Chain A
């Protein structure tokens, strides 16, 4: 009763970091790049499909296009990342998939709340756009971590609060997620400019920013993983 949160916070913060390296496990560089490649291709496929089959694009039908992206990206991401779940002995593949599926709406809620806090209009006409956008963002940010880590708070804190990825698996989750968020943040910048272009509307340029950030971060994470593997290889020699 008497222990106030503020008085004890420092004591807690002084606690040693969880032993992360022991519990984390790495995947090979080839696998990591493969994961990124497939995710990226999924994204490309969705965009192509939208353009050529449904003849829509982000500017003309943002809601529809975003839905297409997340519907196509959803199985890819969940199935792909679930393969690298932690605690394999306790957690079956199906369970990891289930976690990913559960993470999708939860992550979407988190993203939507963040976007609303940052100024997204909450009128009824933006409802479906916001939902589809946040589902897409959820796939970029939360869902991979949900599939891989489940509810292990330490891992989440390491990736999203401390931004200290350990190992290649952390890297391929952490970097694209942050890339997508940072990209979305910068993507919001042209919105107030008076160019009067249709793509300046919510959530079009934010989505462009997020996708660009996500793709760039995937490239960066691939490079990191590759560099890491090379270095380790050299060290081993």
Chain B
């Protein structure tokens, strides 16, 4: 050690002497040097020109893509502005004619009302031709199943024209139920985005009929499709309203039967006072269409069912009630809807009233139209009609007109009424148009005709009113017509504006997108050098664009119908495409044979196929829904391919290394994949882990740990990757080791504060919680400032990450094989003769290490900050995966690792095509894993408020983009790394080792300080850089970026096509349209980032390297370059290109003349920094003229100001420090100078405490900036290749920096120790990684276990995954007892339900979305004593629910339940009360069929529990005697087979187990005292040919059942205790009969109930009491008994 140290010093001394000597020589050569510098300057300019033009050239694609997207969007996405105005009853839109006084709901708000009540029945998808008689037409000769099945509407309209009319009812597209309901209630044309309304909620906020009804105090009841509830939350009478799940299209009957069973009772005269408007929405017809299509007998049956229903409804309604029956849309020939074909649009409307209010306007219209093309009305016409008939104000946004038939009067001549309603409607429309025009300035021409019509009719009306003559019939008629004409024109205008897909525009957009896609593919496949050809490409592209826009504009001018702007854009984009393609074509660089167009490399195929498969898969909604999983599948597939590639390597070391990195890649993405945000459609098979729970939108507290883990792991992971190539030099230690580390910790701290604020953690402490918000806002701003200001400065001004060391190399061995002997280990020094030699560290990753700081660290800070903790984890894992991927690509690409030959390395397919494709999918993957989905509702709007207090433009949208597209941004910025990572910089001679290059002795003299210009005029000396290689770097990077863009462009183009093709699909607005938006936005964002950040950053990197090693352009070659020719010939193009490529590197770069004396270096730095600052403050230098353009290049927010000010301060201090003798000043100077910065940022918060905090914050901020800047100066002043470790050998640093940087002195003692560049494989990271992985794994298992008990608790309104299957015991051959373990909230204990009567819980089948009610069995507890029954019950209820489930072979639900494995989660909802047992029941006869024994057991249990309670009660208030009158219960249980009742025990089983049910009944029966129930069970079995007969029931009712027991039950089953029965029969006392109720309960399958008691007619609720007693019971005298059919 010591000897090496001395030798070092000797060497340094020698170096110094020779330096002085050389300097003298240099003065002589000054003229020579000047010349060289001029040449260098020229080359710099040439390079920047190339770079700028390349940037502009790639930006052309951004133009092409955005114009394509714009064209498609303008045709596809139509927007409408929603006005919040509401019509008011007392404010008619125009003066009222006649004597009617406005303002009273009772008489009618604006117009006298006709009806008090209305029943609106919507038969979903009721097409008009379903309702009219079949007429033979061309296509259809014979009646189809859907014809003539619903004749009632037509017949009544013909037979009673004054009571009913039937008309075609045209829907407006899109014909989906949700949009139709909006139209039917608001009277407007719904568009995709109703701008102004809330994205997230579906609730209708604009004025509508339901809201008007509610305002008027009407009670609105809704039955059926639950879409209504999401549209009108809280508007309906919750007691009577029954909603059903609408999305189960396979179930034709549940919903319809449900509506019918509720609607009919409500129409009974007794119930009519409960409601004013009754809305029933039937879905059966629609479902039959979806499932079978209209041409199916199921449709006939369904329509016939509707026919019957309507007949019954008409029978029941009274004269004062209006009945409206309508379809909300039609269906196409396949039974689907959503689009705008005439079959989908043509619905039917039928109105009926017994009072004879309706009429026909003309003789022609006396019959309903034979087809929907004749006299149709629009659906929105319903809104004013219904509003005026019910006496309500017309909703403000309505565009419809009153229906003539409804207002013309039964005589058909009441034109006065018609004119008045038309006038009101038209006036309202006019009022709406006025308001709309105030907010959205429409083109005056569009509304010209309607306005003209309005003015004309207004004038006519005024003239008429001025005159004294009364109106004649004809005048009324003409006024009615004039108002209607105004409305019709107005509607037409609005439709053009809002509700029509513009197919031309869409097709144009698709065409542009596809041609540019093909062009991109051709460009990627073409063999051309982008650097050489970029000028030509740009020229032709620009000529095409400009020429095209001129041609297009002139076409648009000549044919105004085509639309000027769109035509111009379309023509420009197409011509631009053609121009670019002509360049490829003229160069003949495409493969000449068609066959060769297809790639030959396996890696290319591997990258093409998944992207294509995925893009095609977007045509299927389920593939789109499950996209997050599919992307993972592909990424892992890529990983497996890379693994196979690594296995192919023959070298075991690189194979191991490759496998290790592939494993890291795969593990990282797999762990990241556990972060999920489920979309609605995934709900059944997905659970959200991104937030605390599926219903929450905040992170769980434990997720904060992720932030800290990221802060712990990520910087060291990045560091280790730098260390592996010895690139942890220069700016890296400070930036990555301190600034980046600090930022990640601060981010974690920020989110902790955030969680504290959200979770109210400070509630119990003395700290003021209101301080949290300003603190965290400032913290976030500070983090941004570090990233943008300090990070940006670091990246722009950092030198290459190189280090220079001396190593002792034995002289003799040197000549033979320098590479092997250059180990630099201490052992080498023991050789006899050694010589110190320079070794340059970090050449193996020169470009990669420089550029990687930008995406992996600088960009990462803001990206991490705006993500939720879970998203941060995913993003960090993705960046780890990216680094590993880069390593694998480098290992698998032979060109980067080959060391022989001076030939410029060419990038491999892996680097150019495979890597960028994987990155594209990875970016997409990260999009999902940061809590996003292809749905608008998943946008995290709260990201705006991370660094801001209010919404501010343009920062808020930028923050949203950073949050949403964080993954894409990160990956797009990393694309150049595929090419750059581990691309070695090669010296012409000298040996390359693991990470450094040892220069051979004769080179040494050139690079040592003796020749300061040795680096600058590299090619003149003997170390010419590989210029071609560097040129090709730019070309390769451009190609990689194009491939990356190509992936997104493919996805975008295909999703666009699918959105256009499937614009009639049911799922358009849920699935395809959001996916298309995501594709378009993703393309644009990643394109901007990849081109401007990626390619722009690479320019900086190459410039930084060139500052040391010379510019990559030969002066001799300069004339050869078309760029310069172009610059000379075509200054216009250059100016354009420079304005397109926004980040053209500034001509002035801080000095990298590392070996200049420090004072000169400082001076030059200061000079150049000032220039840089002037640029940063808004000016920008264009490389040709040096003129400035204002305002295009600004630093973000306060960071710019801070940095700028800080830099100025530092510079002034540094300047003084140059002369200062005191080193102390230069150390503290910068910090002192920065102190004045603090007040600058103090915001105007009044609280002194806050101000103080802000001051502290800003001082910290300034301090950190100072640190950063000091490090910058250090990096700049310290010669880049004077490593901290080798300060002693670097005379410059030794003299000038010792005082300012004491840190380095202390480390310099380890210099010789650090001389040896050793390979460090993940030294600190492996254990850390291991610990993290283990803890994540353990955490996951824990979480997974816990989750089964997590989730919301069971409740009666929504299905929750609140139970797990504990066990399933087979009860009999066909039935089993399912035990569920549940978790109840304390509030929903079922104690009350158990004692009230019969109740059930709904179980949902997740796949089919079917729900069935099951009656839980009461808890079995035979030993319970009287007192604690209730307590025990509740204790048990918390844990378990038991169901008796019968497996029907075809039943979808029962097969699900019979297959579901123990441990899985079940969705439950409940409990629903089916039947409330009356108080004081004394006797029950329960006739049960099959599994309906469960309610019977419930009744028994309830009676028993209640007995105790009642007893208690009786004692308390002293009214009842607790004499212990036992309730008597007789159960007649009919089953198919014997084992159904007794379980599958063998006859003669000695344990005489009789099955759980019987045991339970017996247990209840055996309870002593008042809470015992005497239960007498009789069983009947089909297989024994025993059936329940009249006499059995009779006997049961008479209490005489004993005799029947013996013959039925075999001896081994005679379990009944005779004593009990005796007692029971004895206690049949008259007192008991007089008191209390006696019930006959019948429960079982429909057939069973019908057999026993006649058909079951379900009434309000589930049970029927005391009605129709047919069947078996008809013959029995049941006086004093109440019969209940359950």
Contacts and interface: CB of A to CB of B under 8 A. Distances in A.
Contact of B897 (A2, A10, A124, A193): A10
Given A6-B654, A60-B1459, A193 B620 contact: yes
A5 interface: yes
B622 A194 contact: yes
Given A119-B633, A125-B1461, A9 B622 contact: no
Interface in A131-164: 157, 160-162
A22 interface: no
A192 B622 contact: yes
Contacts of B639: 117
B1340 A119 contact: no
A185 interface: yes
A191 B1345 CA distance: 25
A226 B1456 CA distance: 48
B1464 A2 contact: no
B1317 A2 contact: yes
B1095 to A, nearest CB: 26
Contact of A5 (B666, B891, B1407): B891
B680 interface: no
Contact of B1344 (A1, A7, A124, A162): A124
B846 to A, nearest CB: 14
B648 interface: yes
B993 A2 contact: yes
A192 B625 contact: yes
Interface stretch (A11-19, A88-96, A98-106): A11-19
Nearest to A11: B651
A23 interface: no
Interface in B638-676: 639-640, 644, 647-658, 666-667, 669-670, 673
B601 to A, nearest CB: 16
A198 B1461 CA distance: 13
A14 B899 CA distance: 13
Contacts of B654: 5-6, 8-9, 12
Interface string B808-845: 00000000000110110100000000000000000010
A200 to B, nearest CB: 9
Contacts of B1319: 1-2, 4
A118 B637 CA distance: 7
Contact of A4 (B670, B673, B995): B995
Nearest to A128: B1461
A155 to B, nearest CB: 13
Determine which residue in A1, A5, A123, A196 has the highest number of CB atoms from chain B within 10 A of its CB, and name it: A5
A192 B640 contact: no
A117 B1463 contact: no
A3 B994 contact: yes
A6 B896 contact: yes
A13 B647 CA distance: 11
B1297 interface: no
A188 B633 contact: yes
B890 interface: yes
A14 B897 CA distance: 13
A123 B1348 CA distance: 11
B621 interface: yes
Contacts of A125: 1461, 1463-1464
Contacts of B1344: 122-124
A198 B1464 CA distance: 15
B502 interface: no
Given A15-B650, A161-B648, A193 B633 contact: no
B992 A7 contact: yes
A10 B639 CA distance: 21
Determine which residue in A9, A14, A162, A194 has the highest number of CB atoms from chain B within 10 A of its CB, and name it: A9
B647 A161 contact: yes
Contact of B994 (A7, A116, A192): A7
A9 B654 CA distance: 5
A7 B897 contact: yes
A44 interface: no
B1459 A185 contact: no
Given A1-B825, A4-B995, A6-B654, A194 B621 contact: yes
Nearest to A14: B650
Contacts of B1407: 196, 198
Contacts of A117: 636, 639-640, 666-667, 669-670
B894 A13 contact: yes
B629 interface: yes
Nearest to B1462: A125
B994 A2 contact: yes
Given A6-B982, A118-B633, A194-B625, A1 B1318 contact: yes
A10 B894 contact: yes
Contacts of B982: 6
Given A4-B1319, A6-B891, A8-B653, A118 B993 contact: no
A114 B640 contact: yes
Determine which residue in A119, A157, A193 has the highest number of CB atoms from chain B within 10 A of its CB, and name it: A119
Nearest to A9: B654
A196 B1409 CA distance: 10
B898 interface: yes
A29 to B, nearest CB: 29
A13 B893 CA distance: 11
B192 interface: no
B899 A9 contact: no
B302 to A, nearest CB: 23
Contacts of A4: 844, 993-995, 1319
A188 B1464 CA distance: 22
Interface in B891-933: 891, 894, 896-899
B657 A5 contact: yes
A6 to B, nearest CB: 4
B796 interface: no
A13 B621 CA distance: 45
A196 B1345 contact: no
Contacts of A5: 651, 653-654, 656-657, 891
A13 B1464 contact: no
Given A6-B891, A9-B894, A193-B620, A119 B657 contact: no
Nearest to A188: B633
A9 B651 contact: yes
B650 A13 contact: yes
A118 B636 contact: yes
Contacts of A11: 651
A118 B629 CA distance: 9
Contacts of B636: 114, 117-119
Contacts of B653: 3, 5, 8-9, 12
Contacts of B992: 7
B275 interface: no
B623 A6 contact: no
Interface in B592-643: 620-623, 625-626, 629-630, 632-633, 636-637, 639-640
B1388 interface: no
A119 B647 contact: no
Nearest to A13: B650
A7 B899 contact: yes
B493 interface: no
A15 to B, nearest CB: 5
B1408 interface: yes
A5 B660 CA distance: 12
A193 B623 contact: yes
B623 A192 contact: yes
Contacts of B652: 12
Given A6-B890, A6-B982, A193-B620, A13 B649 contact: yes
6 closest cross-chain pairs (CB), A and B: A12-B651, A9-B654, A192-B626, A161-B647, A194-B622, A5-B654
5 contacts: A1-B825, A2-B1317, A12-B651, A118-B632, A162-B648
Given A4-B1319, A13-B651, A118-B637, 18 more contacts: A1-B823, A1-B994, A6-B654, A6-B657, A6-B891, A6-B982, A7-B897, A7-B899, A8-B654, A9-B658, A11-B651, A12-B653, A114-B636, A118-B633, A122-B1340, A161-B648, A185-B637, A193-B623
